[in-house]
Amino acid sequence: MRSQMIAFCIGVIVCGALPVLPDISPWWSWGLAVPCVALALHPDRRFALLAALCAGLGWGIGTGQFRLQALLPAELEGQDFWVQGRVVSLPERRERAQQFLLRVSRSCFVLLPADCDEGEQRFRDRLVQLSYYGQASIAPGQRWWWRVRLNRPHGFANPGSFDFEAWLLMQGIAARGYVRDTAFNRQLGAGASGLQGLRHGLREALQPLVAPMRNGGILLALILGDRSQLPVAQWEIFTATGTNHLVVISGLHVGFIALLGYGVGNRLVRLSTTLLLRLPAQKWGALSAMVAALLYSLLAGFSLPTQRALVMVLVFMSARLLARELLPSFAYCLALCVVLLINPLSPLGAGFWLSFGAVGTLLFAYAGRHRLRPEEGAGLSWRTRLWHWCRPQFSVFIGMSVPLLMWTGQSSLLAPLANLFAIPLVSLLVVPFALISAVILAISAPLAGWLLGVADHLLVLLLWWLETLTAWQGGRATLVAGGVSGMALLFAVAGSLMLLLPAGWPGRWLGALCFAPLLWPKSLAPPAGQLSLTVLDVGQGLAIVARTASHALLYDTGPAFSEEFDAGTGVVVPFLRRQGIRELNMLVISHGDSDHRGGMGSVLESLPVRRQLLSLPAPLSDGAEPCHAGQAWEWDGVRFAMLAPPPGNAYRGNDSSCVLRIEAGGQTVLLTGDIERPAEGRLVAEQGARLHAELLIAPHHGSNTSSSLGFLAAVAPATVVYSAGYRSQFGHPAPAVAERYADLGVRAWNTALSGALSFTLGNAGQPQQAWLPREYRLEEPRYWRLPASPASRRLHGVCGPECDQSVLTDGGPLVVK
């Protein structure tokens, strides 16, 4: 039976790697999966395995198609229309807006809500994520009538970045957008708040208690699973030490709460002879464990991570309740199947692999080992006791190194040492204190505040320990995935399995040698004389990484999305790590706009920068220099020259942008920042033919204020790249500018549709790589990354009115004249 369950799981998991789903109705797919489940019980083993695999494929494909068909229709993107629905999540405060989930029950596509009827319902029974900028306080259960503007789920697409589109698909979110400001918006009623209302009320009651505490955001995350107030700086410390699983409601916490419930129930029931006559104490303990895990999962909003942990607790405790001795491997496979039945899209997220991977590692490491009885453990020496405590940490570290590298791009070598202290402190002390305070809050607020204060002081101790570790290792104890080949990862997996074998197994310590390829990854840098240039997908902003054989330059750092999150943290630094870049030789900030320098602080905190060239209105920091025309240098046969702004000039905003020209092997790229027509005119007058470049990064994202005809005639680019937001609120690129490039026969790409764009200049064997890029969305196709419609391509400036007749060549659009 385990083989059939594994085959079913493989079928579901394979669906997540498909670039395109078969064109089949989800109902047909599900309908085919059901009889396959029955056929999986066939006595012929091979036939049963094939049937189970087909059942998994049918279940995964059907769910994927169902979610895709539920997405906002493409023709409704960017359109204003009316929706009626109910708030079904905790609202999160994000600067000026409140963000929440709305379950849409009705839609209307007329100008005034009074004219709406029950006729056309193109968009209903859908979950949408909305931002509300009004004054009303949003709460779960409220019913609203709103005019909204929505887009289909869309996220950044870069190597190493978090796949936001996959996360939205897992959550079943069909669209994202915001509420339009109109006098006709109105609240229809409070509605039944349910579970989310109870969580909202608890958060409102806890908020004044945790507000003055140093770690209030962590406490809310541990009690309610609400990470909206968790500071990014603290999250980065937890990530660097491999302890970030402790500050969310993870499977570890749910498991500890279940064990606590088991122990309490087992002990308390022994005080009642009546209860013991009905069931043995062990079964009452199992029931208590299931109830405790369920209540904690509900308190966390029944999120996907808690669902996985709850299912595993229910499977293991149900076996004890039914007096069935399940093999751990059978219970593990059963829990895996149940999780994939509930949400077949779970494998799209790292949490699925990390949680099941950690449990699977422990099962493999302790398979067949003798379990000590209490009387046997009493005579153990302190060294043996210490080893028994340390061994699970080192086992999980060994087993999870490769999954962490694959999913997060890094693995902390400090994780075993950090978790030895952090796990008991958080799971045995902080979480119980925090939960008890939430339970007694209605009885005694002062006592609840005192318990929260104790938990806060314990977290202060934990952060001191983690900060001490990170300061001691100085960033050197982190293994990054940059340049690691698939073969090296396979060797590391084999090494992990060898090291986890029982003691006495011959040659198991040789598994440590299998990790050696991870320590010497291959270089992803181009050969001498060539330039690798990547325009990252950062939305409405700009971030470009230029790399030679032994040097790396970052031009701009993208926007800041909030006080706690920016493109440096979410896009630039993960990309640099994925490329194996541990140090920047130069950072250029073209000018002071936040969409160009928003991620600068995160970049400077994450890795060393040897030299900074900036164009900012404020005084420059220590070690930074102003960029100006005349600066030039050469790296590995690649020449760099700063063409603007003029030296000594006062800061003039966009027209003070650092304009950088890079030449490799006779091919040139021009990085222009946000220069406008006056600066373009000066460049044409001063530089003349030196402005020519095969590749041009569109000035000011393709704004109407830039890309003048005289400038384009001097540059004469073969390709232009727009770095702009998806359906940009600023209208970038402007239609007139896009048409201007098209009239000149210039190929156009937009990061909003292509994701990160990678060019190679100076490759004599393949010169077209200087103007025909590698598109990340095409190189890493997934079925949820839907192709852009002709209307969307026109909107983003990648083809003209002849879009429907455009010819696609080498992965990019060729304008048909």
- C-alpha dist (Å) from residue 601 to 565, 596, 615, 638: 11, 12, 15, 28
Asked if the model's pLDDT at residue 57 lies above 80, the reply is: yes
pLDDT digits (tens, 9 = 90+) for 620-634: 777 789 999 999 999
Q: Give CA–CA dist 161/496, Å, rounded.
A: 26
pLDDT digits (tens, 9 = 90+) for 777-811: 999 999 999 888 888 888 888 864 444 444 333 33
Quote the distance between the C-alpha of residue 361 and its chain's center. Answer: 24
Confidence label for 379 from pLDDT (cuts 50, 70 and 90): low
Give residue 385's pLDDT: 67
The percentage of residues in the chain with a pLDDT greater than 70, rounded to a whole number, is: 93
Q: Give CA–CA dist 760/767, Å, rounded.
A: 8
Give residue 606's pLDDT: 87
Greatest mean pLDDT among 239-253, 271-285, 605-619, 737-751 lies in 737-751
The candidate with the shortest Cα–Cα distance to 548, out of 447, 634, 616, is 634
Confidence label for 68 from pLDDT (cuts 50, 70 and 90): very high
Region class of 705: left (phi > 0), else alpha (psi between -120 and 50), else beta = alpha
Q: Residue range 734-740: average pLDDT? A: 95
- Which tops the pLDDT comparison, 134 or 117? 134
Residue type (1 letter), 65: Q
**Phi, psi values for residue 682, rounded to 5°:** -65, -40
Give residue 648's pLDDT: 83
Q: At what angle do helices 251-268 and 304-321 cross, to 10 degrees?
A: 30
Give residue 307's pLDDT: 79
Give residue 808's pLDDT: 35
- Which tops the pLDDT comparison, 192 or 86? 86
Give residue 475's pLDDT: 55
Average model confidence (pLDDT) for the chain?
A: 87
Give residue 802's pLDDT: 45
The percentage of residues in the chain with a pLDDT greater than 90, rounded to a whole number, is: 50
Asked if the model's pLDDT at residue 535 lies above 90, the reply is: yes
Give residue 712's pLDDT: 96
- Which tops the pLDDT comparison, 438 or 255? 438
Structure tokens at 346: 């779970």
Q: Residue range 346-355: average pLDDT? A: 86
Q: Residue range 382-408: average pLDDT? A: 76
Q: Residue 68's CB: how many other CB atoms inside 10 A?
A: 15
Confidence label for 2 from pLDDT (cuts 50, 70 and 90): confident
Residue type (1 letter), 731: G
Asked if the model's pLDDT at residue 334 lies above 70, the reply is: yes
Asked if the model's pLDDT at residue 657 lies above 80, the reply is: yes
Structure tokens at 214: 């140093």
What is Dmax (Cα atoms) for the chain? Answer: 97
> Three-state SS for 366?
coil
Q: Residue range 155-177: average pLDDT? A: 94
> Three-state SS for 213?
coil
Residue count (the chain): 817
Residues 547, 568 contacting (CB under 8 angstroms)? no
Quote the distance between the C-alpha of residue 608 and its chain's center. Answer: 24
Q: Residue range 555-583: average pLDDT? A: 91
Asked if the model's pLDDT at residue 444 lies above 60, the reply is: yes
Asked if the model's pLDDT at residue 410 lies above 80, the reply is: no
Asked if the model's pLDDT at residue 529 lies above 70, the reply is: yes
Q: Give CA–CA dist 410/413, Å, rounded.
A: 10
Q: At what angle do helices 445-473 and 232-240 cross, to 10 degrees?
A: 50
pLDDT digits (tens, 9 = 90+) for 176-230: 999 999 999 999 987 666 788 888 889 999 999 999 999 999 999 888 888 878 8
Q: Residue range 147-172: average pLDDT? A: 94
Confidence label for 523 from pLDDT (cuts 50, 70 and 90): confident
Long-range CB contact pairs, 325-332, < 8 A, 24+: 328/363, 328/367, 329/2, 329/363, 329/367, 330/1, 330/2, 332/356, 332/359, 332/360, 332/363
The candidate with the shortest Cα–Cα distance to 568, out of 605, 600, 530, 536, is 600
Give 159: exposed, middle or buried? Use CB within 10 Å, 0-12, 13-18, 19+. Answer: buried
Regarding pTM above 0.75, the answer is yes
Q: Residue range 99-119: average pLDDT? A: 87
Q: Residue range 491-498: average pLDDT? A: 88
Which residues in 696-707 are b (16+ Cβ under 10 Å) and which e?
bbbbbbbbbbbb
Structure tokens at 574: 């993960």
